[in-house]
Amino acid sequence: MAQRTAAEQQVAELLRTAKKALGLSVSFLTRMDGTTQHLEVVDSSIPLLFREGLELRQETTFCQAIHDGLLPAVIPDVRDHPAAMALPAARFPRLRSYVSVPVTLSDGTYYGTFCAAGLTSDKGLNARDKALMEVLASAAAVIIEPGVVAGALRAEIQGRLGPVLRAGGPTVVLQPIVDLATGRRTGAEALSRFPASWGRAPDVVFAEAHSVGAGHELELLALERAADHLPAVSGYVAMNVSPQTLLTPGCADLLSRLPAARILLELSEHDQVEDYQALHAALEGPRAAGMRLAIDDVGAGFSSLRHIVLCAPDVIKLDRSIVDGLSHDPVLTTLVAALVAFAHGNGTQVVAEGVETAADVDALRTVGVDLAQGWYFGRPGPPEALEEAVPSGAVLPRPRGAAAPEPTSHPGVLAT
Ligand code: C2E
Ligand code: CA
Ligand code: CA
């Protein structure tokens, strides 16, 4: 028998109570999926006759006949009911007494049944036994509901991701990254896009993918699709990866095949790193080959500056939350200036993210931020739009005209 989950153990306790209180031989929780009755948890005094995992055709079961109103919920003697005697369970395992009540989830969904049965008739079974079974069935519903909800969510996520994975991964767009001193575009960040109908930002989709065990595959495909753009664009391409995916052999293999000097790998400050040694080991080869490392979302308040200290990145990317409105916020200005001094003191470049206004561009340049990225310079778009958005040698301010704008309602999702 497979190991019971904590929820199944709790249900087993309820079943034991039911079986004991009714004085019957077996009690069980079943799930009805429309065609099949699954015996999920069984408490039986007759070993072998009933076992967990048993599947029965729903239409041939006592429970279904009771659910359809063809039989009463409490059957003291099966032989009194020709409709019951016609069912297979009346012959094998020769059920002679039966009680079955529905298990209903909080949204009204019919999950299955909570039942007890005996091999001898039991004239004493009555409406009070049914009432007890109903109380126990409600308790069982409360216990199993979180698992059912999680399972449905899992299936929904897998159903959505499947076609994207089979198609080779997400669409990847590029957003220009501009040198504040010269106004030239020096690089671009690769950002994944998923179908607009999902209504989810890419970071949410990656988290969902990890929750169903498809995160590494999705991240690696996104890196491959980002790398596809390399021949078509000049400058470096910044690519996002989680520390967990970075540690996979698949990622090591992929990075070894890419032109290291053209890649800036972005690790988010808010991703927990459990093993810095392993992270260093994974980064050592690619960094030695010329790949640069950025710590993303700095200042977003997720963790400490631990990542920066321990990773010795080439670049830090200041989160939009400490960039937006900088021009009229002296506290933010002081903070950004301090981060710039800290970074430059270690030979680290600073990129400001989410730059939307000319005033903030001026303020960033004043405090010594090196590079900037944001809607002011260009929205994430296809590689062609990137080259048009900030032509080589463009002068500030506002070289953004040609960028294909993303919808503002869901900046993180694919427009089509
Ligand atoms: P991020 O790496 O911090 O990416 C920057 C986000 O800021 C992007 O959101 C970008 O569209 C948005 N952005 C850029 N300029 C502006 C601006 O001026 N104003 C505002 N309000 N937003 C701006 P996006 O594309 O929705 O991506 C969200 C996050 O999803 C990314 O945050 C990144 O953590 C994750 N992500 C996206 N693509 C990938 C990927 O291929 N792999 C991995 N691992 N993560 C990804
Ligand atoms: Ca990023
Ligand atoms: Ca960021």
Q: Model confidence over 61-74: pLDDT tens digits?
A: 999 999 999 999 99
Please indicate whether the domains covering 6-155 and 169-394 agree at the CATH topology level.
Answer: no
pLDDT band, residue 302 (cuts 50/70/90) = low
For residues 6 and 207, give the distance between their C-alpha atoms in angstroms, rounded to a whole number: 25
pLDDT at 199 over 60: yes
Type and span of the H or E element at 240: strand 236-240
Structure-block tokens of residue 333:
């200005």
pLDDT at 301 over 90: no
Ligand 2 mean position to 240 CA, how many Å?
5
Ligand 1 mean position to 150 CA, how many Å?
27
- SS3 percent helix, strand, coil of the chain, rounded to 5, is 45, 20, 35
pLDDT at 413 over 70: no
User: Taking a C-beta distance cutoff of 8 angstroms, is the pair 271, 219 a contact?
Assistant: no
For residues 196 and 219, give the distance between their C-alpha atoms in angstroms, rounded to a whole number: 19
Ligand 3 mean position to 27 CA, how many Å?
55
Higher pLDDT residue, 46 or 130? 130
Q: What average pLDDT does the structure give for the chain?
A: 91
User: Torsion angle of alpha carbons 97, 98, 99, 101, nearest 10°?
Assistant: -170
pLDDT band, residue 390 (cuts 50/70/90) = low
pLDDT score, position 395? 44
Residues with CB under 6 A from ligand 1: 175, 191-192, 201-203, 206, 219, 222, 240-242, 268, 296-297, 320, 353-356, 374-375, 380, 411-412
Q: Model confidence over 325-349: pLDDT tens digits?
A: 999 999 999 999 999 999 999 999 9
User: Taking a C-beta distance cutoff of 8 angstroms, is the pair 156, 150 a contact?
Assistant: no
Write out 284-311 in H/E/C secondary structure. Answer: HHHHHCCCEEEEEEECCCCCCCHHHHHH
Its CATH architecture, for the domain 169-394, is Alpha-Beta Barrel (3.20)
pLDDT band, residue 172 (cuts 50/70/90) = very high
Q: Model confidence over 9-21: pLDDT tens digits?
A: 999 999 999 999 9
Amino acid at 139: A
pLDDT band, residue 388 (cuts 50/70/90) = low
Best of 177, 203, 239, 376 to mutate for ligand 1, by most ligand atoms within 8 A of CB? 203
pLDDT score, position 392? 45
The residue-averaged pLDDT of 369-387 equals: 94
Q: In what order do the strands lie in the sheet with 26-32?
A: 55-57, 36-44, 26-32, 110-118, 97-104, 74-75
pLDDT at 396 over 90: no
pLDDT at 389 over 60: no
pLDDT at 295 over 70: yes
For residues 56 and 30, give the distance between their C-alpha atoms in angstroms, rounded to a whole number: 10
Q: Model confidence over 145-159: pLDDT tens digits?
A: 999 999 999 999 999
**Residue 292, strand partner residues:** 264
Cα separation of the two ends of the chain: 49
Q: Model confidence over 83-108: pLDDT tens digits?
A: 999 999 999 999 999 999 999 999 99
Residue spans per domain, the chain: 6-155, 169-394
Ligand 3 mean position to 354 CA, how many Å?
8
pLDDT at 226 over 60: yes
pLDDT score, position 300? 83
pLDDT at 79 over 70: yes
Its CATH architecture, for the domain 6-155, is 2-Layer Sandwich (3.30)
Q: Model confidence over 111-138: pLDDT tens digits?
A: 999 999 999 999 999 999 999 999 999 9
Report the share of the chain in percent with pLDDT over 90. Answer: 85
